[in-house]
Amino acid sequence: MNIKKSVLFILLILIIDQWSKIYIKTHFVLGESVEVFNWFKILFIENEGAAWGAKLSDVLPISDNIGKLVLTVFRLFAIFGIGYWLFDVIKKKASNTLIWAVSLIFAGALGNILDSVFYGAIFNESYNEVATLFSDEPYGKLFYGKVVDMLYFPMVDSTWPTWMPMVGGQNFRFFEPVFNIADTAISTGVGILLVFNKRAFNKEEEAAVEANETLQDQEVLKE
């Protein structure tokens, strides 16, 4: 894959990600949900921290605002690092599997950093009201935005048997986290690297696989 295709792919993911977030932010009140299927809901929440809503202030003796700023700055450095990695693997003509995976991770990371950097300065609060884009009363400022999440898959919603120690009688729900398109892109990219590790980091092996698939297709056409 060349850099042009990679950029177009990243832009496509960013457009879908940002459109979905802006739509949710300007049409839903915080906490509002719509059931699509009994195992899939659109649920609007805002994430002020990292994955799973974790905050640096929960583990370090710093304020929420300082923790948020540090996290946003860290994400910016991470974006530059991933961007350099992507440029490097394309320049070195690495396997398409690796380039696809890094492109997904970069697009997802960039999608979430846009929320963290800009959303606090362009949206008002969503508590008990639908937010307005480019509001005169933004809820924060640059670098203090909250990440918009909306994809919720409570595929199992049950209760632990009362006879079970520690958790008996408590609610059990799978899959609990609420996430967004950018998170999905990151998870997919990481999943590709884990599952197709050898193919991603071995261009010769991927080329052999592609050549074999092409040969099989040609044989099928001959038949």
* d(C-alpha 102, C-alpha 75), whole Å: 16
Which residue pairs from 62-69 have beta carbons closer than 8 angstroms and sit at least 24 positions apart in sequence?
A: 65/144, 68/116, 68/143, 68/144, 69/143, 69/144
* d(C-alpha 1, C-alpha 220), whole Å: 26
The model's pTM: 0.84
The predicted structure's pLDDT at residue 222: 57
Q: What are the sequence ranges of the domains in the chain?
A: 3-222
State the average pLDDT over residues 9-17.
98
Number of C-beta neighbours around residue 161 at 10 A: 10
Residue tagged active-site, from 58, 64, 115, 149? 149
Could you give the percent of the chain with pLDDT greater than 70? Answer: 85
pLDDT in tens, 40-94: 999 999 988 665 556 655 666 777 778 788 888 988 999 999 999 999 999 999 9
Catalytic, 115? Answer: no
Catalytic, 183? Answer: yes
The predicted structure's pLDDT at residue 218: 58
Q: In which band, very low, low, confident or very high, does the pLDDT at 199 lie, cut at 50, 70 and 90?
A: confident
Residue tagged active-site, from 17, 88, 157, 183? 183
The predicted structure's pLDDT at residue 205: 58
* Higher-confidence position of 150 and 175: 150
